[in-house]
Amino acid sequence: MIYKWGVILTCMLLLGCDTSKQKGQSISFDYPESKIWAHRVNDTCEAKIKKNEFVGMELDLYYSSFQDKIWVAHDLCDTANELSFDSWLAALSDQNKNYYWLDFKNLDVNNSDVISKRLLQLSEQYHIKEHVMIESYDWNALKIIKDKGLAVIDNINDDKNRDTLAWYRKTKDKIMALQPHAISSRADMYSLLIQSFPQMNIHLWNTPIKKDTIGNLKLTELLCKDSLIKVVLVDYYADI
C-alpha cells in the first residue's frame, strides 16, 4: 500500500495536480453529536427500540415503479413484506428527534425525480428534512436528488482488485461532479478514504470484527475519534 501511494503522489506531481482543489469538499450537514448509528433497521419493532438507543438509524429502501411505492427492503423480494417507508416512519414517535440514512438499493436517473418528490413530501410531513440523507452508488441519480434540496451520500466503490491510481481518479471525478454531503464505504476502506479525500465527511459501515465483541466496540470508538468520520454504523443494540 505504501508503494502504491508513492506512485500516486509521484504521478500527481508530474501531472501538476492541485489535489486540495480537486478532491471536492463536503457540503454542510448538521450532524448530531453521536457518530454511532444503528445499521439496517428494516422493521418497525427494531426501529421503536433503536430510536431510543441511537440518534441515527440506517435503513434500506427500494422503489417499485409498478406499485409506485417506496418500500423498506434490502432486495426486491423483501418488498413482499409490504412495509412502506411511510408506514415505517408513522410507527415511530417524535420522528424529528432522530436522523435517517436512507440506503436506496435501486435509485437511478429514471426514478430519482419521483423518489425525490416522495421523500420531500414525507420529510415535510414528519418534519425531518434536515435529518435525512440519501445514499446510492449512482451519482447521476444523486445529483437529481441533491438538486431537489436533499442531502446525499455517495457510496464509494470498494473493489479490492482495484488499481489504486485509477480508482482515485475515477472517484475524485465523481465527487467533484456531485459535491455530495458525504461519502460512504466499508470500514476497511478507512485509511484509503481519509488519505484520498481529507475534506470529505465520511460514513463507514460493516466494521470487520464480529459485531458484538469488545474488539468491535473498541474499533468503533477509535474510528469515531477521527474528525473526518461522521457516522459509523453498528449492528448491536446499545450505544457506546
Query: What pLDDT is stored for residue 212 in this prediction?
Result: 61
Query: What pLDDT is stored for residue 160 in this prediction?
Result: 65
Q: What is the pLDDT of residues 161-195, one digit of tens each?
A: 678 899 999 999 999 999 999 999 999 999 999 99
CA-to-CA distance for 219 and 4, rounded, in angstroms? 25
Average pLDDT over residues 10-19: 41
Is 90 exceeded by the pLDDT of residue 204?
yes
Mean pLDDT lowest for which of 50-64, 105-119, 147-161, 188-202?
147-161
Of the pLDDT bands very low, low, confident and very high (cuts 50, 70, 90), residue 219 is confident
Taking domain 35-234, whether its CATH number is 3.20.20.190 is answered by yes
Is 60 exceeded by the pLDDT of residue 143?
yes
Mean pLDDT computed over every residue of the chain = 88
Q: What percent of the chain has pLDDT over 70?
A: 85
Q: What is the pLDDT of residues 206-218, one digit of tens each?
A: 875 555 677 778 8
Domain spans of the chain? Answer: 35-234
Predicted model pTM? 0.88
